[in-house]
Amino acid sequence: MATPSTLARTSAGALRRSAPVAHGNAYYATRRFLRHRLAMAGFLLSLFLILAGVLAPILAPTPYDFADLMAANQFPSRAYPLGTDTIGHDYLSRMLYGVRTSLFVGVAAVALACAVGFPLGLLAGLRGGLADFAVMRVVEVMTAFPGILFAIFLISVVGSGVANVILVIGLTSWVTLCRLLRAQLLTLREQEYVAAARSIGATETSIAVRHLLPNALAPLIVAVTLAIPTAIFTEAGLSFLGIGINEPTPSLGRMVGESATYIRPYWHLGLFPTLAIALVMLGFTFVGDGLRDALDPRQN
Amino acid sequence: MSTGSEDRTPAPIPDPASVPPDPLGHRLRRRTLLGAAAGAAAAGAVGVGPRNAIASPAAAVPAAAPAGQAVPALPPDAAPPERQVYVAPDNVSIAKVLDFYEQVYERPSEAASDLFSDPLIRLNKNFELIPAAALEWSGSEDGRTWTFRLDPNLVWSDGTPVTAEDWIATFRYAADPGHAWDFSWFWASQGTIKNWNQALEGAVPTDQIGVRQGPDAQTLIFESEEPAPYMPAKLLYSLPLSAKALAEHGPLYNTNPETAVSAGPFILSEWQRDQRIVYVRNEQYTGQLKVPVNKVIVKLAAPDAFFTMYENDEVDFMNKPAPAQLKLMQDDPEKASQVHSGVGDFRCFYLFFDVTKAPFDNIKVRQAFSHAIDREAIASQILGPAGAPAYSWLAPGFPAANGDALKEIQKFDPALAKQLLAEAGFPEGEGFPAQEMWLRAPSPLDQGVAGAMASMIKENLGIDVEIAAKDQQGFTAALNAKPTEILFGYVSYGMDFLDPANMLGVWHSGGRHSWVNEAFDTGLDEAASFVGDPQQRLTMFQEVERILVEDVPGVFVYHETPVQLIKPWLKGDFIAPDENGISSMHWPGYSCTSTVPEGLYIGADAPEGREG
Amino acid sequence: MARYVLGRLVSLLFVLVAVSVIAFLLMHAVPGGPFDVTERRLPEATRLAQLRKYGLDGPLWEQYLRYMSHAVRGDFGVPFQSPTETVTGLIARAWPVTIKIGVPTILLAFTLGTLLGVVSALRQNTWLDYAVTFTATLGLVVPNFVIALWLVLLFSVRFDWLPPGGWGEPKHYVLPVLAYALAPTALVARYTRASLLEAMRADYVRTARAKGLGERRVLSAHIVRNSLIPFVTILLPEIPNILTGSIFIEAAFRIPGLGRFFVTSTSSRDYPMILALVLLVATLWGITYLLTDLLYTVLDPRIRLSGGAAR
């Protein structure tokens, strides 16, 4: 039986006790998602940003590391739609590549978090006993460790840069996913239909594969979707502290951070990256919210 | 040259209108400086006569001064005495202790520090050595023994007279292995105090070091291992602790108002950790400075916050605004006159290589880098009044500076850069490994300059450069490791004392970098300890600097002329143009090692509420 | 119950030891020591003397045991970044400042967040709901250092209503609390809305409605209850974070609190302070989660406590 704080800390969606997957649920879920106005807006926004990021090398007027120092500090104009920064980077190019970096870091870090968190969550949730005990102790320690210190330590040891930032964010954010999966499995194990399956002689493996995992999937999809903007946000914070992604790779977070000193004479340096980061976050968050509502079967 | 007693009258106060307010005139003034370079400095700092050894100007013995500080008469445009309060910001993270001989790198030194005692000598605004706690001094013929005659009127605020014993106790404490002083390297080479290194190692007791009393308590003698004609200049850092307080309350006595003792113009009155430090006039002060200000408040904050504080009239002064903040000031017609650029500590910003490792063991590669950096563009687009292009190590105005003669060696020439890189085997940068440029706790300005250089290297050489910002500790540990752990980096150095031996010593083998050049080492050692004709000594240094520039262990990028923002109500001689036409607070800032405290007063136009 | 709490406290003890060992190993793995600040290389003798002076000589395990044996007696040493006081003294002066910002932040986030969440839920899928949801999400996606910056530009630089920073007077609280509270407010609002909507669909509410209870009564009963659950679920776990301060907020508004030390202690390699901070946060965390679980049993009788370890 899960103890309260597991339930407490999982997202609202996870709290809902899911019924067995019924045929046609995917259809209803899709329909619900398509009708969810914020979710659709978020979806279109995310799609647009993903396209912008993927196509950055084609769309951007200049390579991300090209700077014309003599054209520094230009306000938006015909030649530079979003202006230029303090050393003469075309800001539109930096923004497109910045979105690309953010998305890449967000997705890669969450992938890493899944790769660590899900196996451990499965182990804890399915095996129970000693494995569960060990995994949960690690989770506890990770949760109790001040996150910012952990990130700074790791970055200081392995060095800054895109790959290391992904590593550090991945290694700090798997805990939520692991705990969520375990909590789902523990909750579902107590459900009547699982007991029924067990009573008719189903093996633990087949129960896990046929009953537990499919039902645990919905909240996990939501959690993973929402973990992406969180990872992007963490990257922004690290880069703001100057320990994230290295120049000349553009990082929206660092641009926001650096703009703090430049924003008054050069409003565009602060406004555009703040907007970009907010849009990326909004897009993924609304999609996550929409998915949560759509995947809740009781909304039929 | 003036003596201490003559200096007792307050410096003439210039008409505020005559203070050139235009920061853009800066470039012109720099050029004046270039011309003035060698001569001015040679006169004061390294005045070494061939025969009569090295002597200070004969100082008149001051008339028996009354105990206590004579408050100078305030000029008519000054605020009343109770409002003579100077308020400056400092970095909250660095305010750990308050005495130089406790921890040099961890004391607040941005704007107001070292106010608790007078050093033996101090610098005036033209960077000439003038008497301070020592009224006169002389060196032996071999340049190894230096005798200082102390001002007999000096007294600590607890009534104890200031004697040679205070310096002796201070230097013994500094050499004490148990103290592990963070500046111990300063006396460990170039004018090495006798037995200093042995004392650090614990091989001889600290009472054996070459700092001792002469025939009386007012005579102090320094002995060095090698001839050190620059010894007086180096003794700018000779702010003694009180021997009595040190013995009674330990080395941190000045961090607590209860135990604080001062023989300088101010004494600690309050230290609210992480918020503010308050110094008040030391009524017992009998030294040379006549200080109009009654109280100094240092507000502690993160440097990012200084500009907001300055704009909000919470502080009177700030150092090194970020480029965007500078622009805000310059664009505002009312505020532009508050922008001043100074010489700071003659700091040079430069790229450096580990020349022992590929690809930088190839001089053609290093030369290619040196020709790929467009300093003029960096200066005009990023630095503005904060710096001037550099093609050599010693900054204009520094003794032996030779910028004009060395200018062509590392000049900006992209075609030549490409050609050299091709000759080194990397045509268009092909096959050249991507580089990481290490930065040490960079400011927004450093980030901008480094970013611009990375794009220039990419553009002109086809080499990818990533910028890795490291924190102070991580960078320093890697830099100082032997062998060094930084292949390619960007950093700066500013003078410790006004002699080329100090600045050039950075490049001595076994020093900061991995570059080893025997001709440079021997030339530098020879010039440093040369006790003959000062002019000849400077020529020797110039030859040494040429070797440095030609072998390109570093690419010199700019000489800092740090910008200061100074409120119009800070008035006085400190801001009147010096001989080189520079009007700003001169290094080392508002501290007893310069004459700034004497020349600064608060005008009647200062707003209320700054003390809060 | 007592056994359960005891078990949890033992578990916390284990966490504290584990966390301190990890912190200790990590901080020593970071390149550069506390004294690598000098412009030039220190003489080797001085370098070794520094290590001796600050107890950094000898093998790591010895250093760790030395520190912990003092720490259990309440002596956390002298912070390298403030050698004129003790770690305990430093925390005792800086932490109350952070708490004084943190408590109003929590109160504001709770009241305003609940209010917005309820309004939004009651007007689901109206422009009001969308506006609240959008604003709440925005509050979560705009970093608080950006918000701090805009608040200062607006209220200090532009209108000159409030001081841009400083500490000591009531007016110094306004902007930091606003900037700090926005994200948790948004969090509470989003959560309140979601859980209230869920409650309105729940069977027992339908039953209540079916029994003929007025909509107003049904809702008011559940609103009270449902406003406490987000507090316990969402806000309580945030409390250790809020009460230990934000480096961004405290630096932006020049608040002499604890937040800055989470960054400066690592950048200055202040080992004694790092360990003290890690232990402080871990302890706070342990207590908060214990409280969360206990409160949860009060609020939701469906949940029962089981063995101390599993969670």
Residue C164 lies in a domain: yes
Residue A195 lies in a domain: no
Q: Does C206 touch chain B (CB under 8 A)?
A: no
Q: HEC profile for B159-217?
A: CCECCHHHHHHHHHHHHCCCCCCCCHHHHCCCCCECCHHHHHCCCCCHHHCCEEECCCC
- Distance in Å, alpha carbon of A93 to nearest chain B alpha carbon: 15
Q: Tell me what pLDDT residue C205 has.
A: 66
Q: Model confidence over A77-120: pLDDT tens digits?
A: 999 999 999 999 999 999 999 999 999 999 999 999 999 999 99
Residue B393 has pLDDT above 90, yes or no: yes
Residue B14 has pLDDT above 60, yes or no: no
Q: What total number of domains does chain C contain?
A: 1
B470, B441 contact by CB (below 8 A): yes
Q: Which of A6, A156, A236 sits opposite C143 (nearest CB)?
A: A236
* B326 half-sphere exposure, CB direction, 13 A CA radius: 23
Mean of all residue pLDDT scores within chain C: 83
Interface predicted TM-score of the whole assembly (ipTM), two decimals = 0.83
Cα nearest neighbour of B89 on chain C: C254
Q: Which residue has the higher pLDDT, B10 or B288?
A: B288
Provide the pairing of β-strand B134-139 with B145-150. antiparallel
Residue A284 lies in a domain: yes
Q: Does B381 touch chain A (CB under 8 A)?
A: yes
Give backbone dihedrals phi and psi of B22, rounded to 5 degrees, phi first. Answer: -85, 110
Residue A299 lies in a domain: no
Residue B356 has pLDDT above 70, yes or no: yes
- In this prediction, residues B469-491 reach a mean pLDDT of 92
What confidence category does residue C202 fall into, taking pLDDT thresholds of 50, 70 and 90?
low
- In this prediction, residues C174-189 reach a mean pLDDT of 89
Residue C11 lies in a domain: no
Q: Tell me what pLDDT residue B349 has.
A: 98
Q: Which residues on chain B are in Cβ contact (under 8 Å) with C145?
A: none
Q: Model confidence over A13-70: pLDDT tens digits?
A: 333 334 444 456 677 777 777 777 778 888 999 999 999 999 999 999 999 999 999 9
Q: Does B464 touch chain A (CB under 8 A)?
A: yes
Q: Map residue C301 onto helix, strand or coil.
A: coil
Q: What total number of domains does chain A contain?
A: 1
Q: Which residues on chain A are in Cβ contact (under 8 Å) with C248?
A: 240
Residue C156 lies in a domain: yes
Q: Model confidence over C238-270: pLDDT tens digits?
A: 888 888 888 888 888 888 899 889 888 888 889
CB atoms C22 and A145 under 8 Å: yes
Q: Model confidence over B493-509: pLDDT tens digits?
A: 999 999 999 999 999 99
CB atoms B447 and A159 under 8 Å: no
Q: d(Cα A165, Cα B355) in Å, to the nearest integer?
A: 30
Ranges B4-13, B240-249, C12-21, C104-113, most confident: B240-249
Question: What residues contact A275, with CB distance under 8 A and at least 6 apart?
Answer: none
- Distance in Å, alpha carbon of C214 to nearest chain A alpha carbon: 24
What confidence category does residue C219 fall into, taking pLDDT thresholds of 50, 70 and 90?
low
Cα nearest neighbour of C137 on chain A: A282
* Residues across chain A: 300
Residue A16 lies in a domain: no
Residue A23 lies in a domain: no
Query: Whole domain around residue C110: which residue ranges?
Result: 91-260
Q: Which of C30, C247, C282 sits opposite A145 (nearest CB)?
A: C282
A258, A87 contact by CB (below 8 A): no
Residue C301 lies in a domain: no
Question: What residues contact A148, with CB distance under 8 A and at least 6 apart?
Answer: A237, C247, C262, C263
Looking at residue B528, its amino acid is A
Residue C271 lies in a domain: no
**DSSP per residue over C93-155, as a string?**
HHHHHHHHHHHHHHHHHHHHHHHHHHHHHHTTTSHHHHHHHHHHHHHHHS-HHHHHHHHIIII
Query: Whole domain around residue A270: which residue ranges?
Result: 39-56+91-183+217-294
B591, B112 contact by CB (below 8 A): yes
Q: Tell me what pLDDT residue B139 has.
A: 93
State the CATH number of the domain containing residue C209: 1.10.3720.10
Q: Does C93 touch chain B (CB under 8 A)?
A: yes
Residue C98 lies in a domain: yes
Cα nearest neighbour of C270 on chain B: B473
Q: Which residues on chain A are in Cβ contact (under 8 Å) with B412?
A: none
Q: Which of A144, A237, A241 sits opposite C286 (nearest CB)?
A: A144
Residue C227 lies in a domain: yes
- Distance in Å, alpha carbon of A249 to nearest chain B alpha carbon: 8
Closest of B501, B498, B494 to residue B540, by C-alpha: B501
Rg of chain C, C-alpha, whole Å? 24
Q: Which of A9, A241, A256 sits opposite C146 (nearest CB)?
A: A256
Sign of CA dihedral C50, C53, C58, C62: negative
State the CATH number of the domain containing residue A254: 1.10.3720.10
The fraction of chain B above a pLDDT of 70, given in percent, is 88
Q: Which residues on chain A are in Cβ contact (under 8 Å) with B414?
A: none
User: What is the pTM assigned to this prediction?
Assistant: 0.86
Closest of A238, A10, C75 to residue A18, by C-alpha: A10
* A contact chains, 3+ CB pairs < 8 A: B, C
Residue B21 has pLDDT above 50, yes or no: no
Q: Which residue has the higher pLDDT, C229 or A247?
A: A247
CB atoms B454 and A247 under 8 Å: yes
Q: Tell me what pLDDT residue C34 has.
A: 84
- Distance in Å, alpha carbon of A294 to nearest chain C alpha carbon: 13
Residue C61 lies in a domain: no
Q: Does A300 touch chain B (CB under 8 A)?
A: no
The fraction of chain C above a pLDDT of 90, given in percent, is 21
Q: Which residues on chain B are in Cβ contact (under 8 Å) with A263?
A: 324
Cα nearest neighbour of B375 on chain A: A69
Q: Map residue B305 onto helix, strand or coil.
A: helix
* B325, B476, B497, best to mutate vs chain C, most C CBs in 10 Å: B476
Residue C92 has pLDDT above 60, yes or no: yes
Q: Model confidence over B277-297: pLDDT tens digits?
A: 999 999 999 999 999 999 999
Of A263-277, B195-209, C145-159, least confident by mean pLDDT is C145-159
Q: Tell me what pLDDT residue B13 has.
A: 35
Q: Tell me what pLDDT residue A27 has.
A: 76
